Structure 1
């Protein structure tokens, strides 16, 4: 047998070298990053302008604290989601693509976690300002549950039910 590795043993795998797998995983990851980066950058851009609006001065202390927290979370999400680009650029040419895929994948997952927190915090703040109502947590909780279901629970369920042997070879995770 040559340096090609066979799939997951279920007849559905790919026959590819470690370098080919890393190239494919990197391309998959880039597509995911493009979607999340755009969303988080637009969200952060809007958040950064709020402090310069006349309405900001009239916010209460709790709302200003929530706003600051939301901007920090958005900044952290942006950093984690842009991080793979810098990571790749700094290790490019050093034959570290398989490791870069693993680390970039981890950064993207951290960025997605920060994005969930940013969206939840922003929704909480907006609904507090818009409604000034005590039902806001009851409005935000189902949205957060929806994010968690769509972004984590469903993919994890699908992986456990229909996934491969869990060696992490298909998604860059280790």
Structure 2
């Protein structure tokens, strides 16, 4: 039985009837769709971050806020690198019969990119809320939002995956 086939509690086969190559092609297409969503958001966020330094009020930021800004820009750049990486990886190994490996590495880069995006979002929100609120409440708001992102992006999918395997 192929690796992507499982049996339910009644012994019936579940899954797709596809070759390893077809599975790699499907997984690659799904990953590209996911990346399109993430890349667009990151590109917009990063573009806005790059313009902040050229705004007149930038010179009024405290040293702490400037440091947060620098960290945020660096995180945004590394996020871009991780989320564009799968495209480059695929292009450089295309035609080498490495689709399965490309999918695995692209998936790893995407998860890394999501973790970096979480950090970029937290850092961006911290900077914006510190400037907007001028108090320590910003840190609490950012903490709550980070928990929300972790819940939506990682906890719920992990729980669904666990619940699915627990049924089998």
Q: TM-score if structure 1 supplies the norm length? A: 0.90
Equivalent residues in 2 for 1:150-161 (5 A)? 150-161=152-163
How big is each residue's C-alpha offset from its partner over 1:120-174, in whole Å with a ceiling of 9 and x where there is no partner?
1000000000111111111111100000000000000000011489xxxxxxxxx
Structure 2 distance, partners of 1:21, 1:163, is 20
Q: What residue in structure 1 maps to residue 86 of structure 2?
A: 84
- Residue deviations 1:9-29, cap 9 Å, x none? 233211111000000000000
Over 4 Å off, 4+ runs: none
Q: By how many angstroms is 1:35 displaced?
A: 0.3
Cα pair distance change 1:18/1:61, threshold 3 Å: same
Name structure 1 gaps, 5 residues minimum.
Answer: 166-174
User: Partners in 2 of 1:163 and 1:143 — Cα distance?
Assistant: 29
The residue aligned with 2:139 is 137
- Measured on the aligned residues, the alpha-carbon RMSD in Å equals 1.5
Q: Number of aligned residue pairs: give it.
A: 163
Contact 1:5 1:16 in 2 (8 A): no
Q: Structure 2 unaligned segments of length 5 or more: list them.
A: none
Counterpart of 1:39 (choices 17, 32, 41) is 41
Match of 1:103 among 90, 102, 105: 105
- Distance change (3 Å), C-alpha of 1:31 and 1:120: same
